[in-house]
């Protein structure tokens, strides 16, 4: 479903670019190439402005809770990289790879990894990370969380099926989960239902464990379950065990442009927390340093579990 929505979006954007370029050419005498380039640049400017607005709100939240000042350079780095991440995610990766199995080293020696995406995403966002994991020797499985605007509870059986497939395919008793954004909360809900017998580690990237301020303006029942202080999050917290929380490593960015307030929302009591400044929300799924942190956490926790 997410792929179909993005195909429709890209089609509308393409039509808009053509209409604007045609108008510039016919009404104002612009050269066709110049008119087309200007229309594309306008599209880029809109994306840049929308993300810039998010980062501005994020800076305000960060100023209220952070004891560390990161400087303008880190903010600009996060903004620029997030522009690239948003374009590659929504205009390419999630259309091209939505229904394609990810790279995997099924006979690899390292712990198998289930990848769980976040809100308004699908498995396509994970392809670069999956290639890196496969080269490192991890078997990889993924899921598409649908319906796109359903409840988080709808996604728990999907994750359970992904865990089952990965264990069956590799013959391993326990696997690791890496989850981005809302996917980290889905992983928590899965563990609250299924327990920890099948999972040796969970790494969350930019997950709104305590909700996010932006969820109040989101679409869908899943967004309403990520509003800070909502009943659903409180119920989830009451269902969790210390053993489940101990499996988690939360990787979070003080420059996150979606999860706000950044530190309070992304930390999870009982879990290890690792900050990666200078990264935007989507970029966390693409960043090589974040990949290394996730892999180290998986190796450490799953090695302990085997011991």
CA distances from 36 to 22, 32, 169, 236, 284 (A): 8, 6, 49, 50, 32
Report the chain's C-alpha Rg in angstroms: 20
Give the three-class secondary structure for 139: strand
Retrieve residue 136's tokens.
């490192």
Q: How far apart are CA 251 and CA 229, in angstroms?
A: 22
Along the 307 residues of the chain, how does pLDDT read in single tens digits?
A: 789 989 898 899 899 999 999 998 889 899 999 999 999 999 999 999 999 999 999 999 998 876 677 889 999 999 999 999 999 999 999 999 999 999 999 999 999 999 999 999 999 999 999 999 999 999 999 999 999 999 999 999 999 999 999 999 999 999 999 999 999 999 999 999 999 999 999 999 999 999 999 999 999 999 999 999 999 999 999 999 999 999 999 999 999 999 999 999 999 999 999 999 999 999 999 999 999 999 999 999 998 655 4
Distances (CA, A) of 51 to 209, 242, 275: 22, 37, 21
pLDDT at residue number 281:
98
The pLDDT value recorded for residue 306 is 55
Q: Give the SS3 label for residue 200.
A: strand
With H, G, I as helix, E, B as strand and everything else as coil, classify residue 176.
strand
Greatest alpha-carbon pair distance for the chain in Å reads 73
Instruction: Please name every residue paired with 191 in a beta bridge, in sequence order, or none if there are none.
Output: none
Query: What sign has the CA pseudo-torsion 164, 170, 172, 177?
Result: negative
């Amino acid at each position: 479903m997410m792929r179909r929505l993005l195909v429709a979006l890209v089609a509308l954007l393409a039509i808009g670019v053509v209409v604007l370029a045609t108008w510039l050419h016919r009404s104002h005498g612009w050269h066709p190439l110049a008119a087309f380039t200007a229309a594309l640049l306008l599209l880029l400017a809109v994306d840049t402005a929308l993300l810039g607005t998010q980062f501005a709100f994020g800076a305000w939240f960060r100023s209220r809770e952070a004891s560390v000042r990161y400087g303008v350079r880190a903010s600009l780095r996060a903004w620029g990289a997030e522009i690239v991440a948003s374009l590659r995610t929504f205009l390419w990766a999630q259309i091209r790879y939505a229904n394609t199995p990810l790279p995997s080293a099924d006979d690899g020696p390292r712990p198998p990894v289930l990848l769980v995406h976040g809100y308004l995403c699908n498995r396509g966002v994970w392809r670069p990370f999956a290639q890196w994991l496969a080269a490192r020797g991890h078997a990889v499985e993924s899921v598409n969380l649908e319906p796109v605007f359903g409840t988080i509870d709808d996604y728990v059986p999907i994750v359970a099926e992904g865990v089952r497939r990965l264990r069956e395919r590799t013959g391993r008793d326990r696997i690791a989960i890496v989850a981005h954004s809302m996917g980290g909360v889905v992983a928590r809900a899965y563990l609250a239902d299924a327990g920890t017998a099948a999972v040796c580690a969970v790494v969350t990237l930019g997950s709104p464990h305590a909700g996010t301020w932006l969820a109040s303006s989101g679409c869908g029942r899943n967004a309403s379950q990520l509003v800070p202080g909502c009943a659903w999050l409180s119920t989830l917290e009451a269902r969790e065990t210390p053993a489940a929380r101990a499996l988690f490593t939360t990787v979070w960015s003080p420059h996150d442009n979606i999860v706000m307030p950044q530190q309070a929302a992304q930390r999870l009591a009982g879990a290890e927390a690792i900050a990666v400044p200078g990264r935007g929300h989507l970029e966390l799924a693409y960043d090589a340093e974040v990949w290394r942190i996730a892999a180290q956490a998986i190796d450490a926790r799953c090695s302990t579990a085997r011991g």
